[in-house]
Amino acid sequence: MARKSEKQIKKDESKILTALKQNARGSIEEIAKKYHFSRQKVWRIIKRLEETKEIWGYYTVVDEEKLDRKRFIILIKRSTEPIDNAINKIIDLTLHEKGEKIGIEVESSSYLHGRYDWMFIITADDMKAAKRFSNLLVKEYQMWINEIHIIEDIFSLKKCGIINPNSEKLKDFF
């Protein structure tokens, strides 16, 4: 049997990634049935995607409101000061661990292109806790931060590709 083209392999991988993004708990059997693949093929593709780090891991999308948590976005504009060795402090995620100690969970940390240079998406009990994390950032990276803004996410309609099952609640804000 002839090997599939690189293009077809990418299409098959894309289908499996789509299924995993929609439901990471979906079984290999369900994915195989949906796309008319063998279970072995699905397993091999997932294994390869994990080994090549195209799949970093799996994440559970939760309703922070039901957990009495709030979601915040922190936007940072950096100064013109050269980063130098500070990049190592960013890469080693020390700040994420410090955040955990004050009740902060860092969901996402991204380097940006545009008006802002860095973005954190965090969950915290309240604005006070988010502000404490913001202060930690400023203390740790003071010479590299020009501006920092905290924005509260009051309603997520879609998160990590998953539509909020309570999307009708958005109407309560208008």
CA distance 91 to 127: 26
Listed by start position, the domains of the chain span 6-51, 64-154
Q: What is the DSSP string of 141-154?
A: HGGGEEEEEEEEE-
pTM of the model: 0.79
- Please say whether the structural domain 64-154 has been given the CATH code 3.40.190.10: no
pLDDT per position as a tens digit, 97-139: 888 999 999 999 999 999 999 999 999 999 999 999 999 999 9
Please name which of 95, 21, 79 lies closest in space to residue 55, comparing C-alpha atoms: 21
Pairing of strands 162-163, 118-124: unpaired
CATH number of 6-51: 1.10.10
Residue 3 has what pLDDT?
63
Residue 45 has what pLDDT?
94
Residue 1 has what pLDDT?
45
Q: Which residues of the chain have pLDDT under 50?
A: 1-2
